Structure formats: structure tokens, C-alpha cells
Amino acid sequence: MSIQSIVRKLLIAASTIAVGLSLTTLEASAQSAADRAVEAAKKYSGTTLNVLYEAGLQPLDPKNFTGPLWEKLTGIKINVIEAPIDQLFTKTMQAHKAGSGSYDVLNVLPNQMPDLALAGALEPLDKFVDKYGYREELQKIAPVYRDNQMKVEGVIYGLPDDGDVLIMYYNRAIFDDAKNKAGFKAKHGYDLAPPKTWKEFSEIGQYLTDTLAPKVYGAGLFRQPGLAQFMFQERFRVAGGKFFDADTMKATINSEAGISVFKGMVEDNKYMPPGVEQWGFIEPFSAFLAGDIAMTISWPPVGRWAAGYGKGTEALNWIPETKIADKVGYALPPGGTPELAAGFSFGVASGSKNKEAAYLFSQWMNSEEISLKRVQLPYALRDPFRTSHFSNPEYRSRWSNAGDYLDVLKAGAETGLLDLSLLQTDRYEEAMRQAISRLWAQEDPKEILDDLAGQWDKLTKRIGLEKQKRVYNDWANKPNAYPK
């Protein structure tokens, strides 16, 4: 055989191998992030993953939908362990300190992530993200969640998995009423429309209460301190407030912005229903669905349920009948930078004996393909958090103005404000909750906030000023810590 013939055969063989390799590469790249997670996880068939979840409606997702499906696909069983939201941090830390390995997958509140990560309770995820080709798909998570709720000091510790954001709901029939519109325009000189500022919110709320009460009040907001502190955090920053001096870590919560907001919150209660100071989540939700208040601010599920989405679902039998299903309007709250108010990221416990399997389950749950199904579950509380969720035709057709709802959530996913995040954030929040309780008891706003600033300064000193400064500045330098 001539040398030319040998070379020709070698070239043909090489090209055949190259084509085969190219096809293999194409097949791998065509495989979705969800599929890659499933295929890789099959080697852990027979394993049980303990998943820590907020108690209530949230666990119905892994219990009823994703858990059984994952077991069918991979042979890995999901054991859901429930805990109230205010115990998730404590249980995670207790398991870590004890070295018990009690949990594999964690639901992490983003503002607690630095505390958990720096304590060593969370497994760094970059190695898994790269190994299973997930980095590109993470970029498709909406900016505010992707850029703010995933990393601590540049390291990935969580997969942002919940689009929690406080948005405004209003009764379109009341706002569109010709008599209301004419009367408001005559009194205030501008059109009756969803308020862009807190001044407008107060003027609209007061006018509608003066005109329609006691049948309808202008607004109703949750006021129980644990929830109201979210609204204060948002409104304080909208007013230009900063929580701390970044150089000295001296608390500046008692600035003029803080005092002004506290006074405004008290004044707003005057045009809300009697007893509003005691309102939690349910009271404004029920009042809005009944048509008893014209405006409220709350989490995304309110917008779905008020429109009648999920009606007839057994798990939602507790929801009162909505009388405004075709009247719900959606808008960003005054200021246009809504509080993200909790939310969740998936994390992997550093003490897990099944870290890779735990990560793969998290990637699968969080993936574009599976998460789109999860955020449409009527009974679960996972809210849209990916750009594809907001534009999905199926979701946008779920009720008459679902597109408007998703457009507002998308806007909130660009401008939303992060919850304050520090070491031992819960202690700072507890002091804030006590301050709000004193506010509803009619104590002086300046005196309350001066005391709050003093308590925060003592906490910072006890925890360690330099340690806290490091964490605060990492948080404050994120894109959505303060309004742009």
C-alpha cells in the first residue's frame, strides 16, 4: 500500500472520529441543565436527601410535585423537614455546630446567607456549578436575585429560587370610577392613578377614605412589627436613608429620613380601617379580596389569588372568596423600588454526607425547565424569578391580566431592594420590631429611633466592629442594597 493511501485512510478515520466527537459534544450541549442533573444523579439512586423547608404551603412543592418526580427520574428519595421561617437559621446552625449532618438541601433566606457562609454552614457551590455546566443558565435568573442573592464575597453559596417582592395591588373599579376621578382631580390637581410617591399614596388613601368609608377605606397594610419592618426598610431607603455609616459602622437609622418615615407611617394609619395596627398578612389580604380597601402592598401570591388563580385547589380552601377577580390592578409601590422581603435560595449543608446529590437536586429544581412548572403551582409560594417566567405565554394566559402582573414582577426584579444583611441580622431585626411596636403605642418617633440606633451600635460592638463592617460593606456594595 502506498504512503498516499495510508495517509488518506488515516485522514478518513480521523475525520470520522472528529465527527463522532462533534456529535457527542452537540448532544451534551443540547442537554438541558435539568437533564444533566438527572443523568448525573442516577448514580446516587437509593439515597435519601433531607431537605429543610419553610413550614406551610411551601413544602407542598417537594412533597406533591418535585419530590415524587425526582425519585421517579433518579431513584433518590426526598425527605422534607419543615420548620417555621423564623427557625430555619437556628436549625441550620445547630445542625452545623453539632456536626449532625441532619440536612442536605437548605432553604436559605438571602439576608442570612453571609452569616451562614462565614460560619462554614454552607458548602461553596462554584465547583458543582462548573462541573455540571450551570453557570450560563444562572445568568438567566432575573438581575436583582442573580446579582444580590447568590454570592458572599464573590463565592456562590445559593441558587436564587424565589421572586419574593412587595408589590402594590389596587382595585381598578374604584380608581376608574368617574366620580372618584373627578372629585380627586378637583381636590389635588392630578389624576387618580396608582401612586408614584408616598405623598401621593397618602393623598389618595385619605381622599378615598373620606369619600367611601366606612364601606371602603383608601388602603390597608400589614402592621404587625415582624412584617412592618420590611415596609420600613423599603420606605426608609426610598426617603434617602442609610442604615450605617460605611466607615465607622455607626447606626444612622435615626436620621431625618427615619424620623420622617416613622411619622408618615403613623399618619397613614389614620385613613386605614380601625385596628390596622394589629394587622398581619391575612387582614389586608382578606380586606382587599372583599373589596373593603382600595390599595394594599404584599407578596406576589396575593396578586394571583385575588384574581382567582388556584380557586378550587384543596390546599387553598382557607382563602376567602375573591369579589374583585376582574378588578385587580398591579403596580410597583411608591418609589418604584420594592422590598424583596425574604425570598429563598437553595443551599447545600456543609455537613451533608450527600453534597453532590444535594446540589444536583437543587440544580434540577432551580433549572429553567422545572422552575417554570414550580412557579405556576397554585398552592406553592415560589414566585417568578427567571426572565423566562415573566415572558412565558402559558403563565401570561393564566387569568385575564396575568401579563400585567408578570410585567410588574419583572420591573420589581430589576429595581427591588435587598433586605438588610449582617452578622446576626435577626438581632438587629428584633430591635427594629420592638421599635415599631413602640411606634404603634404612640411613643415619640425620634426617641424610639435614637434608642434603636443605640441598640444597634451595642450589637455591632459586641459582634465585632471590623467583622460587621466587612459584611455590611459587602452587602452595601451590591447593586440593589440602596436605590440607584
Q: Which of 292, 331, 290, 364 is nearest to 70 (CA)?
A: 364
Place of cell 418526580: 69
C-alpha cell at 264: 408618615
Q: What is the mean pLDDT of each run of 10 residues along the chain (484 residues)?
A: 38 34 37 95 98 94 96 98 94 95 96 95 98 96 92 95 97 98 98 98 98 97 96 97 97 98 97 97 97 98 95 91 96 97 96 97 97 94 96 96 97 96 95 97 98 98 96 93 94
Query: Residue 472 and residue 189: Cα distance in Å, rounded?
Result: 43
Query: Residue 114 and residue 127: Cα distance in Å, rounded?
Result: 19
| 3 state DSSP class of 51 | strand
Output the CA–CA distances (angstroms, integers) from residue 194 to 174, 200, 330, 336, 480, in the order listed: 11, 9, 9, 11, 23
The CATH homologous superfamily of the domain defined by 33-160+345-381: Periplasmic binding protein-like II (3.40.190.10)
Query: Residue 188 and residue 417: Cα distance in Å, rounded?
Result: 30
Which pLDDT score is estimated for 34? 97
Which pLDDT score is estimated for 13? 37
Inter-axis angle of helices 225-238 and 425-440, nearest 10: 90
Which pLDDT score is estimated for 148? 87
C-alpha cell at 214: 366606612
C-alpha cell at 13: 478515520
Domain residue spans of the chain? 33-160+345-381
Which pLDDT score is estimated for 30? 57
